[in-house]
Structure 1
């Protein structure tokens, strides 16, 4: 499992395990170090990228650091 958060310093990592049938929730693994692992049901992040075709964030609500679409915006601005 790979952490899906952008670079962060808090030591807690999150990996998406599965989308759930309940709209707007997913099953996540959270780990700290090599032995502490939690299985969590978390609501989806509802933040959308600016613009008409705004892409939704693929992480959970109240996550730390940046949204998943912010990486894409930075990459696009570097190539222009």
Structure 2
């Protein structure tokens, strides 16, 4: 399982397992290599800028940046 948060080395890691119901998902949470837990977390309500308003694919209250921010940074900007 790979952590879905932006690149980081310390702290908790989260991997998406499945959608539970509208607005929540089942996540695997771990720290290091031993302590793991299944947690149900509410979806992140933040949407990206622009007309399409792409939603964040993480959970409410996550650290680091939203998933659509990762996409914006890796996409070359047109002049």
Pair in the same fold by TM > 0.5: yes
Give the CA deviation at 1:10: 3.7
1:15 is the counterpart of 2:5 = no
Unaligned regions of 5+ residues in structure 2, if any? none
TM-score computed with the length of structure 2 as normaliser? 0.91
SS of the equivalent of 1:26 reads strand
Aligned length: 78
Q: TM-score, normalised by structure 1?
A: 0.90
d(CA) in 2 for partners of 1:35, 1:75: 33
Where structure 1 has 5 or more consecutive residues not aligned to the other structure, the ranges are none
- Give 1 or 2: higher helix fraction: 1
Q: CA RMSD in A?
A: 1.2
